[in-house]
Amino acid sequence: MIILSDVELDHVCTAALSAISKNDVELYSIVFVLYNTGLRVSEVLNTTGWREYSLTEYEVYLSKTDGYRVINKSAVHPYIAYFYSNGLPATFHTYRSVVYSLSKVLPRIVAADGTNVRLAHLFRYNHIRRLKASGLSISEVALKINHKNLQTTKSYLHSPLLVQA
């Protein structure tokens, strides 16, 4: 097992995005949003939870935390943005079909304690680590991704991720 650095994790996520065929615009646009926002798959698929927040931002309802998160519209693929803006289903993909597709292009990743990291969650780890690397404090990162507990944010930042060599 090899510990992934933050740069290597970003390369894994970028390669996964590149490996998904742009011929499947729906799936590509979902993974594009995962990569750029760190949202959970269920949050991306729940288009009725999206609404216009400003000219440049969406507000997304997060059912897991029963709160809202503001994301930049540039982080949303143009194909899917039309549907979000109108509260329409953007995709026929289900949570299972997205995870299955990701399993074809992502390596198996485990946390240091040996537990599997859900494939779709790699994008969340990556996004949170990129926010921290951009200069935000841990509390600013937590606020941006709607974590109510700083320990949750710290676990995303400090948990070593390992890949099978």
Residue 89 in this model has a pLDDT that exceeds 90: no
5-31 confidence digits (pLDDT tens) = 889 889 888 888 888 877 777 788 888
CA dihedral 141→142→146→148, nearest 10 degrees, is -170
109-111: strand order across its sheet: 2-3, 161-163, 109-111
Domain extents for the chain?
A: 2-163
- How is residue 139 written in tokens? 């509390």
Q: What is the pLDDT of residue 61?
A: 81
108-131 confidence digits (pLDDT tens) = 888 777 777 777 788 889 999 999
124-147 mean pLDDT:
91
Q: What's the CATH code, domain 2-163?
A: 1.10.443.10
Query: For the whole prediction, is pTM greater than 0.85?
Result: no
CB 142 within 8 A of CB 130: no
